Amino acid sequence: MTHLPQIRIPATYVRGGTSKGVLFRLDDLPERARVPGPARDALLMRVSGSPDPYGKQIDGMGGATSSTSKTAVLSKSTRPGHDVDYLFGQVAIDSRFVDWSGNCGNLSAAVGPFAIANGLVAADRIPRNGVATVRIWQANIGKTIVARVPMANGAVQETGDFELDGVTFPAAEIQLEFLDPSDEGEDGGGAMFPTGNVVDRLDIPGIGSLDATLINAGIPTIFLDAGAIGYAGTELQDAINADSKALGMFETIRAHGAVRMGLIRDVREAAGRQHTPKLAFVAPPEDYVAASGKPVRASDVDLLVRALSMGRLHHAMMGTVAVAIGAAAAIPGTLVDLAAGGGARSAVRFGHPSGTLRVGAEAVRVGGAWIVTKARMSRTARVLMEGWVRIPADSF
């Protein structure tokens, strides 16, 4: 029996925020994978080691969690006023699909440094020392992200003393601005509040009626009140992820919320769209101990937030959901605003399973509708490995 050899593809394995993923230049992909479709999806799944019925991704670069089963394809942008086009793919672990329906805010932190290091940003736009401003076109949602990347002696500065809860070691601070994040476009359901309400009532068979804030900002997100579903908002991963009944409840709520947001037509479609919408629950401040053992005091935060990604409680906070938190906190009457004590604010600090995070947002009311013009947060990023990934030539 004849077996084809492996092929090798230039790639960079990076940490961005509290996520990890494999980044590719579009031009480095095999020709048939340079366009969206089954060949590209199959290639990225094989790189990640998916689908894996054991749920471990042993035969690939994925790390067996939603935070570490990520990939992105980047190219020099032809869009005026932008440097790089960034397409994000969330690779399912035990299922055969790549979800292209949204962005990864954490991995966004690695895009600017990658673009600079790989010649995707014009040389005259990169200072030898100081801060390089990289304008990113986020192709999944059709939005602009501005990354401010520190430079030292002509290279991206990766080391530093900025600490990000959920990441063990400090690194250089990268400031991100998500411009006009409150409209996810056609795929995201249109307006920031797709129903026109800051709070909706969801009637969910087998669960009951729940208040929810359904928002398109950063990524389509469903916010619930923690107390209404029997939680305190101080939970760590095992409290949710070890409870199959709880995970089933959250997925049912997410599916019905997705229908109400106009993202899918039938709850059965949610299984094929795991990356969006996200689901999170919020609560007023309370003391708790983060996953690292670090105490978080009620006085340290404005509210508590726990969010699920790809059907599991996230170990920290997705960057895109942080944008949604900041946007919702800036608008009176949302469940996020109420958990923070009411009274819209331009910045909010929230507690998550790994510690705390601060995010800012600017919201204005135009013609009776709320619009968020900008959201801001700081992350870190670091190259972990670069070279080539190898996959069997017949795998895509």
Tell me the catalytic residues. 104, 318
Radius of gyration of the chain (CA): 20
Buried b (16+ CB within 10 A) or exposed e, 338-356: bbbeeebbeebebbbbbbb
Structural contact between residues 310 and 92, judged by C-beta atoms closer than 8 angstroms: yes
- Rounded distance between C-alpha atoms, residue 117 and residue 377, angstroms: 22
- Asked if residue 89 lies in contact with residue 98, where contact means CB atoms within 8 angstroms, the answer is yes
CA distance 35 to 127: 33
Q: Within a 13 Å sphere around the CA of 350, how many CA atoms are in the beta-carbon half?
A: 38
Q: What residues contact residue 271 under an 8 Å CB cut-off, 6+ apart?
A: none
Burial of 160 (0-12, 13-18, 19+ CB in 10 A): middle
User: What's the one-letter identity of residue 165?
Assistant: D
Cβ(308)–Cβ(280) under 8 Å?
yes
Residue 220 three-state SS: strand
- Assess contact for 305 and 279: CB atoms under 8 A: no
Residues of 73-92 as b/e, b for ≥16 C-beta within 10 angstroms? bbbbbeeeebbbbbbbbbbb
Can you tell me the distance from the alpha carbon of 11 to that of 13, in angstroms, rounded to the nearest whole number?
Answer: 7
